[in-house]
């Protein structure tokens, strides 16, 4: 495939995307972006592969960037919902932390195209220019657990929730990079412990000097 610039600046705001179109388009787009360099993928090739006309694609998405970031946003948003569902009712903060990592990596095990596209293929500078880069997921339940753990001294009270999230994403990035570099020869859920233990060390209270 040769890169073709997508510049439909004249198009109106995207409409609500029909589910049938998502089912036809999304898997193919993720396959493209997880197997080819970001700049080699274009709307023409996506149209050819899916049978969805370029006009139809541009009816709902302003560009290939808008298309892939919409797909990533919809998929990744599922993770926070799944985390909230899994940790509701849990009390042990270490088990909560472990569950967060397990749910995240289990999701990416079942959606490797999302993991590769989001963490490997997509240029961060390009994504940062999109509104979807700044996630607005509902993390209220997780925030409640973290704040309670801080008050109880189970984690370092000096660590803010923002720092908690930053550490989580930082380790997710490193974890997935290593998995991809190793040829994806194992499931992400199989090697959580090393990263989970490092996360615990970051979060745990600093021992007082005697």
DSSP secondary structure letter of residue 132 = G
Residue 1 pLDDT more than 60? Answer: no
Residue 128 pLDDT more than 60? Answer: yes
Q: How confident is the model at residue 194 (pLDDT cuts 50, 70, 90)?
A: confident
The set of residues, in sequence order, having a beta carbon less than 8 Å from that of 44 and lying 6+ positions away, is 4, 54
The reported pTM is 0.83
The set of residues, in sequence order, having a beta carbon less than 8 Å from that of 23 and lying 6+ positions away, is none
Query: Given this model, what pLDDT does residue 133 score?
Result: 63
Q: Which domains does the chain have, with CATH numbers?
A: 19-203 (1.10.357.10)
Q: How confident is the model at residue 179 (pLDDT cuts 50, 70, 90)?
A: very high
Query: Given this model, what pLDDT does residue 16 score?
Result: 86
> CB neighbours (10 Å) of residue 122?
19
């Amino acid at each position: 495939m040769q890169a073709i610039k997508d510049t439909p600046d004249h198009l109106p705001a995207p409409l609500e995307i029909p589910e049938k179109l998502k089912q036809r388009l999304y898997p193919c787009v993720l396959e493209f972006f997880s197997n080819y360099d970001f700049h080699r993928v274009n709307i023409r090739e996506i149209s050819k592969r899916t049978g969805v006309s370029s006009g139809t694609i541009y009816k709902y998405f302003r560009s290939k960037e808008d298309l892939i970031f919409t797909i990533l946003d919809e998929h990744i948003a599922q993770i926070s919902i799944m985390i909230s569902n899994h940790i509701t009712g849990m009390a042990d903060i270490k088990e909560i932390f472990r569950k967060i990592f397990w749910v995240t990596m289990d999701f990416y095990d079942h959606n490797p195209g999302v993991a590769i596209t989001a963490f490997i293929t997509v240029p961060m500078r390009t994504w940062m220019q999109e509104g979807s880069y700044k996630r607005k997921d509902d993390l209220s339940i997780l925030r409640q657990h973290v704040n309670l753990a801080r008050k109880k001294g189970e984690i370092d009270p000096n660590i803010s929730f923002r720092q908690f999230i930053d550490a989580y994403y930082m380790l997710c990035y490193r974890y997935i990079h290593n998995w991809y570099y190793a040829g994806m020869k194992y499931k992400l859920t199989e090697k959580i412990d090393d990263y989970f233990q490092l996360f615990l060390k970051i979060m745990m209270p600093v021992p007082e000097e005697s």
